[in-house]
Chain A
Amino acid sequence: MSEDPSTETAEETRGAYSWIGKNVTKPDALEKALGATEYVGDMVVPGMLHGKILWADTPHAVIKRIDTEEAARVPGVHAVLTAADVPGSNRFGLAVLDQCALAEERVRSVGDAVALVAAEDEEAAEEAVAKIRVHKEHLRPILTYADALDPDAPKIHDGGNVFQHTTVRKGDLDKGIRESAAIVENAYHTHRMDHVPMEPEAGLAYVDPSGVLNILVGTQYPYRDRRQIAPALGLPMNKVRVIQAPIGGGFGRKDDITAEIHVGLLALKTRRPVRLVYTREESLVANTKRHPMAMNFRTGAGADGRLTFLDGDIYGDTGAGVSLGAYVIKKAGIHATGPYDVPNIRVDTYTLYTNNLTSGAMRGFGVMQAAVAHESQMDQLAHKLGMSPLEFRLKNCLKPGLASSTGQLMNEGCGIEATLRRIKDYMSARDLRFKRPEAAS
């Protein structure tokens, strides 16, 4: 680099400030390798109480009454709280405020929290949770796509069970069908998936001498957390401080509220620091998952091996809360054609409320589910046309100058062709062949 920064060339500037191509050691890696990093579950502060949650444990019910007297009498218990004790809106959610911090008149999923306990130790908190009596009237749970689409089914939220319908339209579908020499039609289902970050969710909260509620949490997004916590607890934004603690894996799920509102409420009510750490079982039952999707795809190609059309429907189960589901499922629709040039498209997506676990962001954000369908379709079409699956993809992949399903023009950063050619070279050098799928025969 030049001595005088004013004579630095643009390339030098880029070189000096770019990390691309350089080995960089994570600043916090050594502390973690030494075992010295304190995650929230490792933290202890003087006077700290332990929080525990009573989960709904039933997918769909009306809450008639909650008896907390017996729980409150357990020695060492400082607070037993229900929705009636929440001083704010009690609502949170990333797309819409459709989730309750503590269940009000309705339980919508087994992962809904119903009551909270703070006690001197975890054993007392657990004992108190076991003594809370929730009187429920069970409702018919909506668990399948068909149930959610049935207009006569019970409504999980007031607006109905179809939260969102999106469309992708391009070209002329009928023309695409007419020009097809081969058509494959299949139904694909992907399953619900937990991120399983190695650190289960945890939070530690305290009210400081200036009256600010401080919440330490391994979160992906402290400012968005604060925007949800403050109104839910009836506090002005400047009375809530979210402190980013080391995060033991998130993969999307810690985009959402996890322990924040619960542990914050317990600290507000007890005026003591409170730590709340999920067990693995709680982590699996509560908080967001990857969306299960049902995808019905019909895809065609001409005798020349060029894709002619995609005609598809995608149903996404977002569970009892939308979280980021509206964006995830819409994105699955936008990516339904994968990295391929499809001239004629009809794709509809439906974001459905069910009484299953709430689904939200997870690595890939809807694109992974769509890939299961579009790549299987590609293999089966190649087989039907008697083409190599690799050659079929090379013929149809997006290249600079072509446009995506939504009209985005490909220019820089469109690497699918180069990637496929590298795979081709690798495979020919080793005399490897793709196996053809059995299902298409």
Chain B
Amino acid sequence: MKQRYVLRVNGRGMEAAAEAHESLLDVLRENLRLTGSKKGCNEAECGSCTVLLDGRPVVSCLVLVPDAADRDVVTIEALATDGVPHPIQRQMVEQGGVQCGYCTPGMIMSAYALLLDNPDPTDDEIRFAISGNICRCTGYGKIVKAVRAAAVEMKGQAGNGGAAS
């Protein structure tokens, strides 16, 4: 039986009618039409559906809707501000970290969660942070490079009066 759930997605309160066994991913994609989070496996293997739940990266295919109610959900759609891409998004483009693009939103969300916690990560820390995100195109090298470049850029912005988004 469907119930109404109140979710805080990207800073806005949203309502969704869903069954208790439905995943946060399905509700984001089907009910709220936020399709930036991708469904690659639906069993927490690929990381394409990664979102932030109360600031922590989670695979949204494995979060049941009731467990996401009244908590903060951040999806890829919220990263750009006023049409300006987030530094991770821009560096993924500039460093060639995007090919087919299907893993890209989840990959960026994992990197975003890392940089929130650790603004100056080592390459090993970057690799660990994205180790739950599978990419079949790039071989990961350019993605690591993009995250590193974004970290440097964000530190520069923070030094210039905290303009980092």
Contact = CB atoms under 8 A, between A and B. Distances in A.
Interface residues of A, number: 31
Interface stretch (A24-32, A144-152, A413-421): A24-32
B136 A26 contact: no
A250 B85 CA distance: 27
Given A33-B98, A248-B102, A38 B35 contact: yes
Interface in B69-114: 75-77, 79-80, 85, 89-90, 92-94, 96, 98-105, 108
Given A198-B100, A249-B137, A280-B41, 5 more contacts: A32-B104, A34-B85, A196-B136, A198-B136, A279-B42
B100 A249 contact: yes
B136 A36 contact: no
A247 interface: yes
Nearest to A198: B102
A251 interface: yes
Interface of chain B, main secondary structure:
loop
Contacts of B85: 30, 33-34
Nearest to B137: A249
Given A29-B92, A30-B93, A199 B40 contact: yes
Contacts of A26: 93, 96, 98-99
Given A28-B101, A39-B102, A198-B136, A33 B40 contact: no
Given A29-B92, A30-B93, A42-B35, A197 B100 contact: yes
B92 A249 contact: no
B7 interface: no
A29 B99 CA distance: 7
B43 interface: yes
Contacts of B103: 198
Interface residues of B, number: 39
Contacts of B43: 280
8 contacts: A32-B104, A33-B93, A33-B105, A198-B38, A199-B102, A279-B42, A280-B40, A280-B43
Contacts of A37: 101
Contacts of A280: 40-43, 45-46
Contact of A35 (B46, B77, B93, B100): B77
Contacts of A44: 33
Contacts of B102: 39, 197-199, 248-249
